Structure 1
């Protein structure tokens, strides 16, 4: 390896940038705007992604992000309490799915980006 990395960040699109910003703020992510239609969205200082005011339906609906959490059940309870599908049209939240590697549930954001929220089995 040439040099160890410090972070890796994906770019995701937004069908309606302002709505997506409100969605991620509702999820208690931090938004750091870097100009019109572009923001760094983080859940902690080391973990985040770039949200951009750019939408291609086939790209957004085929984008996936995996977020590993420590307590999946508590995280899902918090997500359910936010009532996201009622506040944001098109948003979906699934129940927990168990698999051989661990457990996960899914959230579709307002642009159709699929979030995998998971916890690995030790």
Structure 2
């Protein structure tokens, strides 16, 4: 019996699929493919997830992605530029803050309420 897994991907909810797809691409995710039924695979630094045309408010607002980065401040500046024109409703950005687990973290809430953690682990 072989129980080896080769990949794990999460399904990220989208209130407005087209707007969320645009948002993630503007942040730097690459669109690998998109199905006509509202499913897309997005990739950043070799890490992938599925964006789906499905929304449940309670689920979306309790869903998080933790993205390990080299420079949380650079991600904060980049995200601020992406959202500066106000074209993404409900998006919120917080300045980087050192968290208890030893990382400098930029928090960004996407247009559907999903919380993204851009985390830079600090030397101990």
Q: Is the structural similarity TM-score above 0.5? A: yes
Deviations 1:53-73 (A, max 9, x none): 001110111101100101111
- How many residues are matched? 120
Q: Which moved more, 1:99-108 or 1:49-58?
A: 99-108
Tell me what 1:27 maps to. 27
Secondary structure at the aligned position of 1:41 is classed as strand
Q: Are the counterparts in 1 of residues 104 and 122 from structure 2 also a CA contact under 8 Å?
A: yes
Residue by residue, what CA displacement relative to the aligned partner does 1:102-122 show, whole Å, maximum 9, x if unpaired?
110111111100111111123
Q: Deviation digits for residues 13-67 of structure 1, max 9, x if unmatched? A: 10011111111111121122133200001113x2011010001110111101100
Q: Structure 2: where are the runs of 5+ without partners? A: none
**Cα–Cα, structure 1 residues 26 and 84, in superposed 2: closer, same or farther, change >3 Å?**
farther
Answering whether residue 86 of structure 2 is matched by residue 70 of structure 1, we say no
Deviation at 1:77, TM superposition (A): 1.4
Is the 8 Å Cα contact of residues 83 and 91 (structure 2) preserved in structure 1?
A: no
Q: How does 1:42-121 map to 2 (within 5 A)?
A: 42-44=43-45, 46-83=46-83, 86-100=86-100, 101-121=102-122
Runs of at least 5 residues in structure 1 that lack an aligned partner in the other structure: none
Using the alignment, how far apart are the partners of 2:89 and 2:16 within structure 1? 11
TM-score between the two structures when normalised by the length of structure 2: 0.87
Q: Deviations over 1:60-96 (max 9, x none)?
A: 1110110010111122111112235712010011011
